[in-house]
Structure 1
Amino acid sequence: MLGIIGGSGLYDIQGLKIVEEVEVSTPFGEPSDKYVIAEYKGKKAVFLPRHGKGHKYPPHLINYRANIWGFRKLGVNKILSVSAVGGINPLLKPGDFVLSDNFIDFTKSRVSTFYEGLNSKEDDTGINDQVKEYLKDKRVVHIDVTNPFCPSMRKLLKDICEEKGYRYHFKGCYVATEGPRLETAAEIKMLSLLGGDVVGMTLVPEIILARELNMHFASVNIVTNLAAGISEERLTSDEVIQTMKQKTEDIKKVILEFIEKVPEKLNCSCEEVLKGAAI
């Protein structure tokens, strides 16, 4: 089943039937909000607002582990992440879609693993798999993130954007920063030199935690503004919100098409990431 992480505005999509809202408890605390289970053309999907409804949690205080674990408890094995980003690459324009293919992590204070050796929590999902085995045995795990995003999901997103004629970029390195403040012009210059294309505050540790649970993961980023030093204007949250509102209908169309077309079984190796990863 597909899980979608984004804002609460994704729920009022025409043609999407809301089945129920469920609260999920996890060994890692409470998720950001209730999970919304929905149907579209016979396919089920689970939505979660990463910041909570009303944007209650700043990026550095989101309970990422609870959010991803809650998806596992609900039977999700694929996650589509939707987020706003700042553009570093001068080829990017506000409103562009970026289908990230790699990331650089500059976060500082976030727990980014479920596998904590002797401190690992017990699996409460009832699922008998390698995740449960590693947690039960208190294993230390080092997953491979050479190519962190699901190639099959990215290809489907590319096809959807092309079909609808949206301006998009199939490659893009996402730089994850701690926040909640925006970056300095000097930091953006450094990130550009390192190969960063977009900057945001939420991809990490979402993607790492999802991969630790053998989940497929893809990210749709909407460039809402040019990053510090690239833009000649003072950066504000207002421009982020305004651009997201302008792109709302396009984002919804991409999501609906993705729900309809994503196959149950994907042709990739994402579900093998835990093989040989434990010590």
Structure 2
Amino acid sequence: MAIGILTGSGTYALPGFTTSGSEPVLTEWGEAFVSHGSWAGVDVLHVSRHGVGHPRLSNHVTHRANIAALKSLGATGVLAVTVCGAVEPDAELGSVVCFDDLHFLSNRLPDGSLCTFFTEPGAADRGHWIYEGPFSSGLRAALLRGGEEAGVAVRDGGCYGHVDGPRFNTRAEIRSLAAAGVTAVSQTAGPETVLCGELELPFALLGFLTDYANGVTEEATPVSTLVENMAASTELFASILRAAVPHAAAATPDNAGVVYRFHA
């Protein structure tokens, strides 16, 4: 039994994580690279979405392989972090959000295929993921408690908006997301949320606001500011996660909703 951790841009390793290094894990959906070790006294499985040196852009991330690998290796829950563009104009750059809702209308993987493990008619595990909220309340509580213990203010609640990359969005696209109530956007966590839901793997998501999305403020956030904030996210995320993983491991994380399956 272990806690899975998914990290993105700016966080390619976990400070103080005792591991032999990233190892390939072969799944039905391709190869994933997972580091297995101990962190804060907890058995942890770490996946760096983009890899050291960022060889994989958002459109190269193999989401199904990553989530299937974590499940097969015994993860009982997954804590994920992502740097985000703020859609709300009064949101403060450098702040952290623990999301409680999802905007992912396309429901597509980077290759354009539908975001699901249920690809074969008649498969025994096929079903509909049905939920009120897409994130695990127990793992959200662990992240919020981790923020408190790390001395980092974490906003409790917000809508994560998944957008396709690798390009950033136009003003018109951001206006539509703002009208839908989206708090912040990034390019990777939508598929992770859905795929964990389908595997009944509890999942929770933190976002660090690095910049204002296009058109949110009169003046665009300089790219240099985005890069500086991305660098600042590394230790902040690590401090919250380091404090949160013991709580996540000690709890019995709840699944978000149920998967209604059709049995022959």
Normalising by structure 2, report the TM-score.
Answer: 0.88
Q: Which is further off, 189-198 or 40-49? A: 40-49
Structure 1 residues 20, 57: closer, same or farther in 2, change over 3 A?
A: closer
Structure 1 residues 77, 180: closer, same or farther in 2, change over 3 A?
A: same
Structure 2 residue identity aligned to 1:216: P
Alignment correspondent of 1:115:
118
User: Pairwise mapping of residues 1-279 of structure 1 onto structure 2 (< 5 A)?
Assistant: 1-7=2-8, 9=11, 11-14=13-16, 16-31=17-32, 34-107=33-106, 108=108, 109-118=112-121, 135=123, 137=124, 140-235=126-221, 237-266=223-252, 268-270=254-256, 273-274=258-259, 276-278=260-262
Q: Equivalents in 2 of 1:194, 1:255: separation in Å?
A: 29
Give 1:92 shift. 1.0
Structure 2 residue identity aligned to 1:61: H
Structure 1 residue identity aligned to 2:202: H
Structure 1 residue identity aligned to 2:76: N
CA contact (8 A) 1:93 1:226 kept: no
Structure 2 residue identity aligned to 1:113: T
Residues 65-104 of structure 1 deviation map (CA, whole Å, 9 limit, x = unaligned): 1111111121112111110111111231111101010111
CA contact (8 A) 1:24 1:70 kept: yes
Q: Equivalents in 2 of 1:12, 1:164: separation in Å?
A: 15
Structure 1 counterpart SS, 2:167: coil
Structure 2 counterpart SS, 1:263: helix
Q: Which runs of 5+ in 1 are unaligned?
A: 119-133
Give 1:20 shift. 4.5
Q: Equivalents in 1 of 2:12, 2:167: separation in Å?
A: 25
Structure 2 residue identity aligned to 1:11: A
Q: Equivalents in 2 of 1:148, 1:189: separation in Å?
A: 23
Higher strand residue share: 2
Structure 1 counterpart SS, 2:127: coil
Q: Equivalents in 2 of 1:99, 1:192: separation in Å?
A: 18
Q: Equivalents in 2 of 1:188, 1:277: separation in Å?
A: 36
Structure 2 residue identity aligned to 1:172: G
Pairs aligned (count):
257
CA contact (8 A) 1:106 1:178 kept: no
Give 1:198 shift. 0.7
CA contact (8 A) 1:158 1:170 kept: yes
Q: Equivalents in 2 of 1:263, 1:140: separation in Å?
A: 29
CA contact (8 A) 2:86 2:211 kept: yes
Q: Equivalents in 2 of 1:228, 1:65: separation in Å?
A: 30
CA contact (8 A) 2:99 2:158 kept: yes
Structure 1 residues 23, 175: closer, same or farther in 2, change over 3 A?
A: same
Residues 160-197 of structure 1 deviation map (CA, whole Å, 9 limit, x = unaligned): 22333323211110111112111111111111111111
Structure 1 residue identity aligned to 2:30: G
Give 1:42 shift. 3.1
Structure 2 residue identity aligned to 1:35: V
CA contact (8 A) 1:111 1:205 kept: no
CA contact (8 A) 2:146 2:241 kept: no
Give 1:23 shift. 1.2
Q: CA RMSD in A?
A: 2.2
Q: Equivalents in 2 of 1:9, 1:103: separation in Å?
A: 22
Give 1:203 shift. 1.1
Normalising by structure 1, report the TM-score.
Answer: 0.84
CA contact (8 A) 1:40 1:260 kept: no
Structure 2 residue identity aligned to 1:66: A
Q: Which is further off, 233-242 or 151-160? A: 233-242
Q: Equivalents in 2 of 1:227, 1:68: separation in Å?
A: 28
